[in-house]
Amino acid sequence: MRWMMLVLSLAMCGAAGAQRDMALEAGLAKTPPMGWNSWNHFAGKVTEQDVKDAADALVSSGMRDAGYVYVNIDDTWEGERDAQGVLHTNKKFPDMKALGEYIHARGLKFGIYSSPGPRTCARFLASYGHEQQDADLYASWGVDYLKYDLCSFGTLMEAGIADHPEDPDYGNKMMKAAYLKMRAALDKTGRPIVFSLCQYGHDDVWTWGASVGGNLWRTTGDIQDNYASMTKIGFAQGPLAQYAGPGHWNDPDMLEVGNGGMTADEYRTHMSLWALLAAPLLAGNDLSKMTPETKSILMNKAVIAIDQDRLGAQGDRVSKDGDLEIWSKPLSGGGRAVGLFNRGTSEAGMSLKLSDVGVVAKRDSGQRPVADRSADGAVTGASFVGGSEVAFRTLATPWSKTASVRVSGREPARLHVTNVWTGSAVVDTNGVVTEPVPAHGVVLLRVEP
Ligand code: GLA
Domain segments of the chain as ranges: 11-314, 320-359+414-448, 377-408
Which one is the CATH code of 11-314: 3.20.20.70, 3.40.50.261, 3.90.550.10, 1.10.620.20? 3.20.20.70
Nearest atom in ligand 1 to the alpha carbon of residue 222 is: 8
Query: How far is ligand 1, taken at its centre, from the CA of residue 267, in Å?
Result: 21
Q: What pLDDT does 381 receive?
A: 42
What does the CA dihedral 72, 73, 74, 75 come to, rounded to 10 degrees? -160
Per-residue pLDDT at 414: 85
Q: How distant, in Å, are the alpha carbons of 187, 239, 384 from that of 212? A: 12, 21, 51
Q: Does residue 121 line the site of ligand 1, with CB under 6 A?
A: yes
**Residue 316 · residue 339 · CB < 8 Å:** no
pLDDT at 319: 96
* Among 360, 353, 361, 310, CA closest to 445: 353
Q: What pLDDT was estimated at residue 419?
A: 98
Q: Please measure the distance between the N-terminal and C-terminal CA atoms of the chain and give it in whole angstroms.
A: 58
- For residues 239 and 178, what is the distance between their CA atoms, to the nearest angstrom? 27
Tell me the pLDDT tens digit for each residue of 92-142.
999 999 999 999 999 999 999 999 999 999 999 999 999 999 999 999 999
Helix (H, G, I), strand (E, B) or coil at 328: strand
Residue 428 among the catalytic residues:
no
Please count the other Cβ atoms lying within 10 Å of the Cβ belonging to residue 215: 28
The torsion of the CA quartet 64, 68, 74, 79, rounded to 10 degrees, works out to 30
pLDDT at 375: 40
φ/ψ (deg, to 5) at 81 = -95, 145
- Cα 222 to averaged position of ligand 1 atoms, centre (Å): 7
CB-facing half-sphere around the CA of 39: CA atoms within 13 A: 21
Q: Spell out the residues 6+ positions from residue 232 whose beta carbon is closer than 8 angstroms to its own.
A: none
Q: Which residues in the chain show pLDDT less than 50?
A: 1-16, 19, 365-409
Q: Cβ distance 182 to 195 under 8 Å?
A: yes
3-state secondary structure at position 149: strand
Largest CA distance in the chain: 106
Fold observed for domain 320-359+414-448: Immunoglobulin-like (2.60.40)
**Residue in 40, 72, 222 to alter for ligand 1 test, most ligand atoms within 8 A of Cβ:** 222
Report the nearest atom of ligand 1 relative to the CA of 74: 10
Q: What is the pLDDT of residue 25?
A: 58
Phi then psi for residue 384, to 5 deg, are -100, 115
Q: How far apart are CA 184 and CA 196, in angstroms?
A: 14
State the number of CA atoms in the 13 A half-sphere of 119 facing the CB: 7
* Angle 128-185-1 from CA coordinates, rounded to 5°: 75
Considering 222, 265, 316, 428, which one is annotated as catalytic? 222
User: Which one of 149, 251, 253, 286 is the catalytic residue?
Assistant: 149
Confirm whether 149 is a catalytic residue. yes
Q: Among 36, 39, 114, 200, which residue has the most ligand 1 atoms within 8 Å of its CB, making it the best to mutate? A: 39
Does the fold of domain 320-359+414-448 match that of domain 11-314? no
186 Cα–ligand 1 center, Å: 21
Please check whether residue 70 is in contact with residue 108, taking contact to mean a CB–CB distance below 8 angstroms.
Answer: yes
pLDDT of residue 362: 81
Ligand 1 pocket, residue 256 CB under 6 Å = no
Give me the pLDDT at residue 412, please: 55
Taking each continuous run of H as one helix and of E as one strand, the counts in the chain are: 12, 21
